[in-house]
């Protein structure tokens, strides 16, 4: 009597629906694809059968038929736990949804091997396109031929020697403009908190930073430049070291939100021990929730990572919808907004006192 631990029943197929509705599989198929050339009454019978059986059309079977799209895109990002990429992924997802596509999402954890694996798997699953935040390692697996000519969009970072559609933030200029503004405010000793150099973004932001320094005739002091911090904990240590210098920087450029968090933690902790600490002005590339309330002089270089994701997706779908257009890889650089210097009570006073802090 007892059917026992019911084996996971195989999903119902068109045939079963057809049988229950007393029609041919073809009529079911037609009904499900809009109902052209099917009597209303028959459609109803079919839909009823669909409902009672809990039938769902097998999209995989559907997608192997010639000319049919998979409606799937593959997205590989480096770190989902970073709110930045959460917003990014949301931007991608929203635009994909508008275009009727679903998103296969994988996390690379900055590991090239994993990236390779993911991309290969995505291709095997017939994704129509790929959006990748590259880890920055070797990237042969992203070459067009390896991808079976599936459109690829790189986001947030580039890869040396790889031609592909790319959406970047205007890193160089953002770093340049913000550093310049800090220099104009009178700072001369400016620290740098960077992430790993192999990440193109890091280099580009460092480049803009140096450009501004050079323009003001300031040599970048190697003691003030730290690089390679990939998470907040590392950034915090780096910032602590900067604060502990005999002659600490009066301003610090932070490459990304992880470094900003770490820097603010270092400052916050240090302030507990030394409440009169006059914290350095922080140039924060990427906005961070609550940062502006931290009572630390702050210049935010912000942009919307969600828009970055959306833009990457738009770029991808444009290529999918118009494969006939020019094949040349395109590069888009999204502008950043350099804000005002917030919480700069001390800085104001210093400037009011005239001249530069260090003669």
Partner DNA sequence: CTGTTAGCGCATTCAT
Partner DNA sequence: ATGAATGCGCTAACAG
H or E segment to which residue 112 belongs: helix 112-124
For position 290 contacting a copy of itself by CB under 8 A, the verdict is yes
In 3D, which of 165, 164, 111, 171 has the Cα closest to residue 138? 111
Report, in angstroms and rounded to the nearest whole number, the Rg of the chain calculated over CA atoms.
27
For position 6 contacting DNA by CB under 7 A, the verdict is no
Sole binder of a copy of itself in the list 161, 217, 222, 323 (CB under 8 A): 323
φ, ψ (nearest 5 deg) of residue 206: -65, -40
Our measurement of the distance from residue 243's CA atom to the centroid of its chain's CA atoms, rounded to an integer in Å, reads 31
For position 93 contacting a copy of itself by CB under 8 A, the verdict is yes
Q: How many residues does the chain have?
A: 359
For position 197 contacting a copy of itself by CB under 8 A, the verdict is no
For position 100 contacting DNA by CB under 7 A, the verdict is no
CA dist 166 → 28, 87, 158, 245, 328 (Å): 43, 18, 7, 40, 11
3-state secondary structure (DSSP) of residue 7:
coil
Chain position carrying tokens 């828009």: 307
In the complex, minimum distance from the CB of residue 113 to a copy of itself, in angstroms, rounded to a whole number: 12
Q: Which stretch binds DNA (CB under 7 A): 64-72, 188-196, 233-241, 344-352?
A: 64-72
In the complex, minimum distance from the CB of residue 41 to DNA, in angstroms, rounded to a whole number: 7
For position 70 contacting DNA by CB under 7 A, the verdict is no
Chain position carrying tokens 């799937």: 72
For position 83 contacting a copy of itself by CB under 8 A, the verdict is yes
Applying CB under 8 A, what is the total number of residues that bind a copy of itself? 70
In the complex, minimum distance from the CB of residue 65 to DNA, in angstroms, rounded to a whole number: 4
Q: What DSSP line would sit under 145-193, residue for residue?
A: GGGTT--EEEES---TT---EEEEE-HHHHHHHHHHHHHHTT---EEEE
Q: Six-digit token pair at 97?
A: 């949804």
For position 14 contacting a copy of itself by CB under 8 A, the verdict is no
Sole binder of a copy of itself in the list 49, 95, 106, 286 (CB under 8 A): 106
Gap between the Cα atoms of 227 and 93, Å rounded: 32
Q: Which residues pair with 252 in a beta bridge?
A: 191, 282
In the complex, minimum distance from the CB of residue 141 to a copy of itself, in angstroms, rounded to a whole number: 11
Binding interface with a copy of itself (CB under 8 A): 5-12, 54-61, 63-64, 66, 70, 72, 79-83, 85-87, 89-90, 93-94, 97, 102-107, 120-121, 123-126, 145-149, 232, 261, 264-265, 268-269, 288-295, 306, 323-325, 327
Binding interface with DNA (CB under 7 A): 10-11, 13-15, 23-27, 29-30, 32-33, 37-39, 42, 57-58, 61-62, 64-68
């Amino acid at each position: 009597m007892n059917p026992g631990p019911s084996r996971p029943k195989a999903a119902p197929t068109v045939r079963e629906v057809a049988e229950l509705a007393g029609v041919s599989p073809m009529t079911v198929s037609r009904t499900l694809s809009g109902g052209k050339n099917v009597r209303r009454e028959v459609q109803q019978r079919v839909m009823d059968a669909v409902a009672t059986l809990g039938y769902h059309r097998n999209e995989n079977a559907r997608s192997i038929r010639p000319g049919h799209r998979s409606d799937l895109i593959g997205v590989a990002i480096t770190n989902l736990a970073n709110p930045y990429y959460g917003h990014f992924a949301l931007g991608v997802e929203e635009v994909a949804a508008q275009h009727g596509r679903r998103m296969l999402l994988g996390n690379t954890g900055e590991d090239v091997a994993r990236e390779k694996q993911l991309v290969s798997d995505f291709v095997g699953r017939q994704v129509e396109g790929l959006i990748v935040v590259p880890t920055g390692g070797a990237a042969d697996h992203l070459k067009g031929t390896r991808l079976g000519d599936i459109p690829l969009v790189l986001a947030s970072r580039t890869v040396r020697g790889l031609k592909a559609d790319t959406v970047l933030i205007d890193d160089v200029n953002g770093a340049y403009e913000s550093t310049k503004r800090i220099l104009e405010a009178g700072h001369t000793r400016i620290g740098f908190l960077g992430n790993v150099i192999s990440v193109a973004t890091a280099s580009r932001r460092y480049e803009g930073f140096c450009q501004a320094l050079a323009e003001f005739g300031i040599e970048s002091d190697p003691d003030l430049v730290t690089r390679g911090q990939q998470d907040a904990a590392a950034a915090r240590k780096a910032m602590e070291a900067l604060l502990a210098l005999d002659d600490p920087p009066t301003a610090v450029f932070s490459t990304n939100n992880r470094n900003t968090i770490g820097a603010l933690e270092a400052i916050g902790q240090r302030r507990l021990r030394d409440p009169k600490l006059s914290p350095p002005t922080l140039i924060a590339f990427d906005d961070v929730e609550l940062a502006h309330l931290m009572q630390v002089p702050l210049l935010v270089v912000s942009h919307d990572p969600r828009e970055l994701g959306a833009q990457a997706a738009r770029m991808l779908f444009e290529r999918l919808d118009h494969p006939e257009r020019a094949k040349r890889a395109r590069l888009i650089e999204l502008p950043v907004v350099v804000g005002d210097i917030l919480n700069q009570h001390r800085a104001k006073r210093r400037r009011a006192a005239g001249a530069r802090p260090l003669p």
